[in-house]
Structure 1
């Protein structure tokens, strides 16, 4: 299902599908909190040769591409640093005893370079996905699809097909699923039960799950925006029971009902949104 086509104020996008989103929330605002060794973590220190990443609610793909670059570039730098260490050690007589150890490290770094990173960005808005396709700098490694994540048929067919086509080592789970600032929109559109379903499915699909939940003040700001421009919407704001502590409710639900454990809080953005990295405890490869 695509976002409804019609006339609406860009500041009141009902699905969070802002046409100019990255002009006021650039990718680097989130990317700077991601660990440099994130690829090593999700690839089991390079033992997985094909890593699959899902970015849910990717908008026009700017953050998706920045995520791909973050996952791939640090490995290249690490390998270059290790090669420099090897060269330095080999040129020093007293370091001869360490050469074999350094060579082994170099071999591991070369191995990490052979990890293939494939990213799928999905969004409910066809126009945004079209723009993502048009600006895709890495079409061999990044794909975009229009997906209604809350529709079982749309989600299952698109995600399974992607995993199968990219030689993923599993056909039912991504190594990393990212949910950047989309929980509020799911919650407003589908209510408490819908949010729980979303979290359950995102957790089931992931070995590692990165979530940036919006706190309650963001809900109130969104409501003020639509009221200001007089936009009618189908939000279920008045029905919600998860409110003031909704970001904590999300964390607690993932850990208590979805077999996830919180690995670390990576940071907090300028909008006071926390980046939470979870690990799926049911996954034997994690």
Structure 2
């Protein structure tokens, strides 16, 4: 077994962290095993100019939910602004601001310490399923820019943990919340096999199953099921699938049907 795989499985076994933090998927050193490049390589270099073809008299605002220790947030920021190479077509999008949140305060502290763009990327500890905390943070951030919604939201490998910890109704509520907060939603759902693996790891540790695992009726092809929820119940449309990562997770882009911005 290759060393990185052994290290990854060891990290997954670290669900015995104080307070059960890893039960929410926020494993330390996560980006070592699912590196940002695995997602970034799938995204078009001209994504922002395609989604927002006209120069707007305001900065673009992004929300990254479940940012872990920030490596992917920074990689997305650099990729979307074309900072890794010269892209004249994206020069007008040099004012992008990201709010990145995670349930784990320790991971957020690491992200803040390492951030190369503190003026443009803001990190905050947040339980996204706490409506009072969520609305307080998001509204406060948006108000700074005179806005009521984000231009784009990123949600990478978060849906399973919401689903396992909050059940079917929690997943629907989470997706509905994200849909109401942004014009575009870039989503990476975990496939059902990841649910079974997470439950199996928990049992091997001698713990009880996730509270909702055996009662979930939203199951099977999770990318399709989540797409159905977003398009049927959340006033969004699927506009693109950018392919799958090496760990077999699809990158799906949705757009709010209520937005008047052109594709």
Report whether the alignment pairs 1:152 with 2:131.
yes
Quote the Cα distance in structure 2 between the aligned partners of 1:115 and 1:265: 26
Is the CA contact 1:123–1:145 (under 8 Å) kept in the aligned structure 2? yes
SS at match of 1:14: helix
What do residues 76-124 of structure 1 show as CA deviations (whole Å, max 9, x unaligned)?
7222xxxxxxxxxxxxxxxxxxxxxxxxxxxxx58x4354100011011
Aligned residues: 248
Quote the Cα distance in structure 1 between the aligned partners of 2:154 and 2:15: 30
Report whether the alignment pairs 1:131 with 2:131.
no
Quote the Cα distance in structure 1 between the aligned partners of 2:198 and 2:39: 20
Q: CA deviation at 1:75?
A: 9.6
Q: TM-score, normalised by structure 2?
A: 0.88
What do residues 220-271 of structure 1 show as CA deviations (whole Å, max 9, x unaligned)?
1111111122234653101100111222110011011111111110110112
What do residues 165-222 of structure 1 show as CA deviations (whole Å, max 9, x unaligned)?
2x25x2x211100110000000000000000000000011010000111110010111
List gaps (5 residues or longer) in structure 1: 1-5, 80-108
The answer for the alignment partner of 1:3 in structure 2 is none
Quote the Cα distance in structure 1 between the aligned partners of 2:29 and 2:205: 18
Q: CA deviation at 1:161?
A: 1.2
The answer for the alignment partner of 1:246 in structure 2 is 222
The answer for the alignment partner of 1:264 in structure 2 is 240
Is the CA contact 1:42–1:175 (under 8 Å) kept in the aligned structure 2? no
Q: TM-score, normalised by structure 1?
A: 0.81
Quote the Cα distance in structure 1 between the aligned partners of 2:229 and 2:172: 8
Q: CA deviation at 1:141?
A: 0.3
The answer for the alignment partner of 2:64 in structure 1 is 55
If asked which structure has higher relative contact order (CA below 8 Å, sep 6+), I would say 1
Aligned Cα root-mean-square deviation (Å):
2.2
Quote the Cα distance in structure 2 between the aligned partners of 1:264 and 1:114: 21
Quote the Cα distance in structure 1 between the aligned partners of 2:209 and 2:57: 44
